Amino acid sequence: MPRPLDGITVVSLEHAVAAPFCTRQLADLGARVIKVERPGSGDFARGYDQRVRGQSSHFTWINRSKESLALDVKQPQAKAALMQLLKTADVLVQNLAPGAAARMGLSYEALKEHNPRLIVCDISGYGADGPYRDKKAYDLLIQSEAGFLSVTGTPETPSKSGISVADIAAGMYAYSNILSALLLRARTGEGSHIDVSMLEAMGEWMGYPMYYAFDGAPPPPRTGASHASIYPYGPFTAGDGATVMLGLQNEREWKTFCDAVLQRPEVATDARFCSNAQRNQHRSELQALILEVFAALTAAQVVERLDAAAIANARVNDMAGLWAHPQLKARQRWRSVGTPAGEVPALLPPGVNSAFEYRMDAVPAVGQHTAAILAALGWTDGQIDEVITPSPSGEG
């Protein structure tokens, strides 16, 4: 079946997470993604760890279904090959160091003269202008600048996200902006420039705590795995030592929780707990009461009561639990993709579409497709051999 982005060619000068996460999703939808890498070492995310049969966990996750083109773009012939590709490409994505793409002549203004239909997406920490434009940005630093650490963790210790949340946020907005630009180009015939900032992506995701602290109000406190403003909403320990995560959203659920789960209906009308504001104010007293009831139950018995009462709950899974999650298995969400070290399992992208199947092709080795791509551009074997010889000073 045809995919939404069949026939679309994306060239990406990418590394780490933000841009590769964006372009992998474009590849999932059928786009041809040509990943330009440094000859020899490639994307430096290839070296983050060796957890997937000697390969990087980050790289394996976000680089399937791509073609790897190893070019030292500081060399004239390699730069010529890149420019030749961009003359007919649909999209250029880059998250190089601030200003690096422009210095190489890869700004939107320079490229649109050669290809007016080209969509150029620049991903950076702080955006194309402003006082922070040239400041280096990594995921943790943006989490900090965006105030994420101020609302995450325990009262004593601010904590970063366990995943690269700022990179992922920027990658998601780059992806959706590119899809929008492709729709717009279909109507206007012209490309466009997209400027995605990690800080602005995280700023959007921080909307709730920002408005919670509106007009100088106190910000949400750090509450560990509990909700900052709704209670009970978070982890509770059962009598067998296992943890159950549960959440209440309204007063109807609160009454049901007291009646069917705690089996203490009088608690629902206790003046300390009769509204969410009161429950939030008296967290410690309510927590002690809930833990007293749960202490006589196993986690399975707690979950049984919660499910019977239609109270939202979840297990506190680790990664082994996620790999083996019965819901993912039941919905047939796993596929197998190739890598240079053999087949590995991979989750299908979120969203089941009845009209097409996602592309789930292999993760490439560095420069795996260089010769084929250059040959398709009309380059001779001699020219290809000269270009693919790694340069010790080159940067891809």
CA-CA distance, 287 to 296, in Å (whole number)?
15
The dihedrals phi and psi of 197, each to the nearest 5 degrees, come to: -110, 130
Same domain flag for 72 and 19: yes
Provide the number of structural domains found in the chain: 2
Residue range 175-207, pLDDT digits in tens: 999 999 999 999 999 999 999 999 999 999 999
Residue 131, domain member (yes or no): yes
Residue 239, domain member (yes or no): yes
User: CA 349: distance to chain centroid?
Assistant: 12
Residue range 120-135, pLDDT digits in tens: 999 999 999 999 999 9
Q: Look at the pTM and tell me if it is higher than 0.85.
A: yes
Q: Among 51, 8, 43, 40, which Cα is nearest to 26's?
A: 8
Same domain flag for 201 and 337: yes
Residue 61, domain member (yes or no): yes
CA-CA distance, 106 to 85, in Å (whole number)?
12
Same domain flag for 290 and 184: no
Tell me if residue 114 is catalytic: no
Per-residue confidence (pLDDT) for residue 396, from 0 to 100: 36
Residue 395, domain member (yes or no): no
Same domain flag for 156 and 258: no
CA-CA distance, 206 to 214, in Å (whole number)?
12
Residue 325, domain member (yes or no): no
3-class DSSP state of 291? helix
Q: Give the tokens for residue 348.
A: 């299908």
Domain final position from 293, 316, 339: 316
Residue range 311-323, pLDDT digits in tens: 999 989 999 999 9
CATH number at residue 246: 3.30.1540.10
- Band (172; pLDDT cuts 50, 70, 90): very high
CA-CA distance, 286 to 271, in Å (whole number)?
12
Domain final position from 316, 347, 380: 316
- Band (395; pLDDT cuts 50, 70, 90): very low
Catalytic residue among 193, 227, 282, 325: 227
- Band (388; pLDDT cuts 50, 70, 90): confident
Same domain flag for 288 and 337: no
Same domain flag for 301 and 336: no
CATH number at residue 357: 3.40.50.10540
Same domain flag for 349 and 276: no
The mean per-residue pLDDT over the stretch 109-114 comes to 95
Range of the domain at 238: 233-316
Same domain flag for 52 and 176: yes
Same domain flag for 305 and 350: no
Same domain flag for 148 and 248: no
Question: Length of the chain, please?
Answer: 396
Residue 212, domain member (yes or no): no
Residue 68, domain member (yes or no): yes
Same domain flag for 110 and 27: yes
Same domain flag for 154 and 237: no
Within 10 A of 357 (CB to CB), how many other CB atoms are there? Answer: 11
- Note whether 179 and 190 are within 8 A (CB): no
Residue 366, domain member (yes or no): yes
